[in-house]
Amino acid sequence: MNAGTSMVMNRAQKAAAILLSVGPERAAKVLAHLDEEEVEQLTVEIATLGNVPANQLENILFEFRAEAEAHKHLISGGEKHARELMRRIYGAGADEVVDRLLATTHAQPFHFVRLHEPAEVLQHLRDEHPQTIALVLAHLPARLGANLLAGLEPSIQTTVATRLATLERADPAVVKRVEEALRSRLGEVRRRSGRRDGVKELADLLNQTDRSTERIILSELEAKDPALAERVRALMFVFEDLITLDDRSLQEVLRQVEPARLAVAFKGIANDLRDALEQNLSERARTTISEEMDLMGSVRLSEVEEAQSEIVRVVHELEKEGLIQLSRGGEEEFVA
Tell me: the pLDDT tens digits for 236-259? 777 888 888 889 999 999 999 999
pLDDT in tens, 300-328: 888 888 888 889 888 878 887 888 877 64
pLDDT, mean of residues 84-113 = 63
Q: Is 250 exposed, middle or buried (0-12, 13-18, 19+ CB in 10 A)?
A: buried
Do 178 and 129 share a structural domain? yes
CA–CA separation, 261 and 266 (whole Å): 9
Q: Cα(52)–Cα(77) distance, rounded to whole angstroms?
A: 34
User: For position 331, what pLDDT does the model report?
Assistant: 44
Instruction: Give CA–CA dist 200/213, Å, rounded.
Output: 17
pLDDT, mean of residues 72-92? 60
Same domain, 76 and 106: yes
26: which residues sit within 8 A by CB, 6+ positions away?
Answer: none
Residue 244 Cα distances to 198, 239, 247, 276, 325, angstroms: 25, 10, 9, 9, 11
Domain assignment present for residue 302? The answer is: yes
Task: Judge whether 329 lies within some domain.
Answer: no
| Together in a domain, 83 and 6 | yes
Question: Domain check: are 65 and 129 in the same one?
Answer: no
| CB under 8 A, 24+ apart: contacts of 274-278 | 276/242, 276/243, 276/250, 277/242, 277/250
H-type helices in the chain, by residue range? Answer: 11-22, 24-31, 36-48, 54-76, 79-90, 94-106, 118-125, 130-138, 142-151, 154-165, 172-187, 199-206, 211-224, 226-235, 247-255, 259-265, 271-279, 283-296, 301-320
Residues 228 and 190: their CA atoms lie apart, in Å, by: 13
Q: Across residues 181-193, what is the average pLDDT? A: 61
328: in domain: no
- Report yes or no on 335 lying in a domain: no
Q: Which has the closest alpha carbon to 213: 37, 23, 19, 12?
A: 37
pLDDT > 70 fraction of the chain, expressed in percent and rounded: 74
Whether 260 is covered by a domain: the verdict is yes
Say yes or no: 41 and 95 in one domain: yes
Specify whether 8 is located in the same domain as 108. yes
CATH number at residue 269: 1.10.220.30
The domain of 174 spans 117-188
The answer to whether 117 and 7 have CB atoms below 8 angstroms apart is: no
Determine, yes or no, domain membership for 284: yes
**Looking at residue 298, what is its pLDDT?**
84
Greatest pairwise CA separation for the chain in angstroms: 82
Torsion 198-201-204-209 (CA) sign? negative
For residues 107 and 141, membership in a common domain is answered with no
Residue 39 located in a structural domain: yes
Q: What is the DSSP letter of 112?
A: G
Do the Cβ atoms of 94 and 83 come closer than 8 Å? Answer: yes
pLDDT tens profile 35-49: 666 777 777 778 777
Neighbouring residues of 34: CB distance < 8 A, sequence distance ≥ 6? 42
8 Å CB contact between 19 and 205: yes
Same domain, 80 and 2: yes
Predicted pLDDT at 10: 81
Whether residue 105 sits in one domain with residue 14: yes
CA dist 203 and 206 (Å) reads 5
> Same domain for 251 and 313?
yes
pLDDT at 197 over 60: no
- The conformation of residue 7, written as its DSSP 8-state character, comes to -
Is residue 98 included in any domain, yes or no? yes
Same domain flag for 165 and 100: no
Q: How many domains does the chain have?
A: 3
Select the more confidently predicted residue: 79 or 26. 26
Residue 31 shares a structural domain with residue 104:
yes
- All residues at 6 or more sequence positions from 274 whose CB lies less than 8 Å from its CB, including other chains: 266
Task: Report the C-alpha gap between 282 and 197 in whole angstroms.
Answer: 43
Phi/psi at 73 (nearest 5 deg)? Answer: -65, -35
| For residues 166-177, average pLDDT | 81
| pLDDT(159) > 80 | yes
